[in-house]
């Protein structure tokens, strides 16, 4: 090979090497730019995602606080209703106890209205005429006194009825409060 051909071959080889190196550097620069762009996009997505998670957590905490406040309010209202129910029940039991005591000491006697026609038809004059009271509508109605044992059973039945009515009112109030 001649010296001129060697120079041509050497210059072509040198040109190819320089061209390859320049292409390599340009490609590396482009890859760095793309990498920086991707890193920026990932950082923005990560920031947006973390803000979204933070907002969701904050909303969940706010909702939890609202539910806790509502629960405390409900518990307070139910406690007030429970106290009211207990007081009503206690008052009814005390009234029934006083009534039983008065019946036991013969301080109070229970009597019932008797149909005057039924007593007259039987020829029985054993009924006691009650004087007209200020709160009564029946003027001088015929009344019969009950046996104390029957009176106690009637008072016990009314006591159970009163307690049932008070318990029913308490249950209805509870359901109203819970369903609000």
Contact in structure between 108 and 102 (CB atoms under 8 Å): yes
Residues in a beta bridge with 110? none
* pTM of the entire predicted model: 0.53
pLDDT tens for 73-106 read 999 999 999 999 999 999 999 998 888 888 888 7
Task: For helices 148-179 and 3-104, give the axis angle rounded to 10 degrees.
Answer: 160
Q: Is the pLDDT of residue 18 over 80?
A: yes
Q: Is the pLDDT of residue 136 over 70?
A: no
Separation of alpha carbons 32 and 46, rounded Å: 20
pLDDT tens for 20-76 read 999 999 999 999 999 999 999 999 999 999 999 999 999 999 999 999 999 999 999
| Count of C-beta atoms within a 10 Å radius of residue 163 | 15
Separation of alpha carbons 39 and 46, rounded Å: 10
């Amino acid at each position: 090979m001649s010296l001129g051909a060697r120079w041509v071959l050497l210059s072509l080889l040198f040109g190819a090497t320089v061209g390859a190196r320049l292409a390599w550097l340009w490609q590396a620069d482009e890859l760095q730019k793309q990498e920086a762009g991707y890193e920026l996009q990932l950082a923005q997505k990560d920031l947006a995602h973390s803000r979204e998670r933070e907002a969701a957590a904050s909303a969940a905490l706010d909702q939890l606080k609202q539910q806790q406040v509502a629960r405390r309010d409900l518990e307070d209202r139910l406690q007030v209703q429970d106290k009211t129910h207990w007081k009503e029940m206690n008052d009814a039991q005390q009234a029934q106890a006083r009534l039983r005591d008065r019946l036991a000491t013969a301080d109070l006697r229970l009597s019932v209205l008797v149909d005057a026609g039924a007593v007259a038809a039987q020829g029985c004059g054993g009924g006691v005429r009650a004087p007209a009271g200020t709160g009564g509508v029946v003027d001088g109605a015929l009344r019969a006194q009950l046996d104390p044992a029957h009176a106690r059973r009637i008072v016990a039945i009314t006591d159970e009825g009163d307690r049932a009515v008070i318990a029913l009112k308490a249950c209805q109030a509870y359901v109203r409060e819970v369903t609000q």
